[in-house]
Amino acid sequence: MKHTEFKKELHKFISSRNIGQLCTKCKFSEKNKIASRMCDCTWRFGPGLKSIYQFFKATYNLKAILACNYRYISYDNIFSCVFDYNTDCNNENFIWAQNLYIFIFPMEDIAIVCNRHLTKNIPLFDNIVNNTLEHKKMFNFKYYNYDLAVWLTGPHIYIFDEESPLEMVCFKDRSYEQSDVSDVMISNHRWYKKTFIQEVREALKHVTW
């Protein structure tokens, strides 16, 4: 599914309302007039995070979602697998945060979740985040978080063309002299130890295929 088509289908999916039945817990609470946190069983405010996640998984046959390790500066083993083909994701609130960026590679059946620090060090991702690629732009969406009982804005999403391989992505070159005042002074030995594709392959070793 192409970028624009997926954006339309996702919007249609997010807009779905009241299609489910009360779960046993909600039926009990309603029958006994017990106040409880709203469940997503009826989709009163649309699909919950697990359903949104399943939509992504089914649409692109995702085998894995890799997320950058939650450290501001990390230059080795930078990705962790937060979902693989045989397990459910247990980091929904993390990967759907507004300040994150999700890049989907249909050719590879994987999605990569990055923070802004990482995208700045990958020229291709940085260009996409800054909207310098005119043919298509990142998009996000609003969803209802049933656990928090609040509307939230989801991450920025970009879908690569079906023929786009991971090999097209690389870290920018960086030397000690190129470090600017706003950054931590970084010498070559503290820069990325592997190529981008090597980092991805390393994280995928832990995926149960």
Extents of the domains making up the chain: 3-204
Residue 88 pLDDT exceeds 80: no
The whole-number pLDDT of residue 182 equals 45
Scan for tokens 């209802």, then name that residue. Answer: 144
8 Å CB contact between 103 and 160: yes
Closest CA relative to residue 100, chosen from 85, 86, 82? 82
Indicate the pLDDT class of residue 29, thresholds 50, 70 and 90: confident
Token digits of residue 61: 């046959």
pLDDT number for residue 79: 87
Please tell me which residue, 24 or 112, carries the higher pLDDT value: 112
Q: Which ranges of 36-77 does DSSP label H, i.e. alpha helix? A: 49-60
Please classify residue 44 by burial: count the beta carbons closer than 10 Å to its beta carbon, then call 0-12 exposed, 13-18 middle and 19+ buried. Answer: middle
* pLDDT tens digits, 31-81: 777 767 778 888 889 998 888 888 998 899 888 888 887 654 567 788 888
- For position 174, what pLDDT does the model report? 66
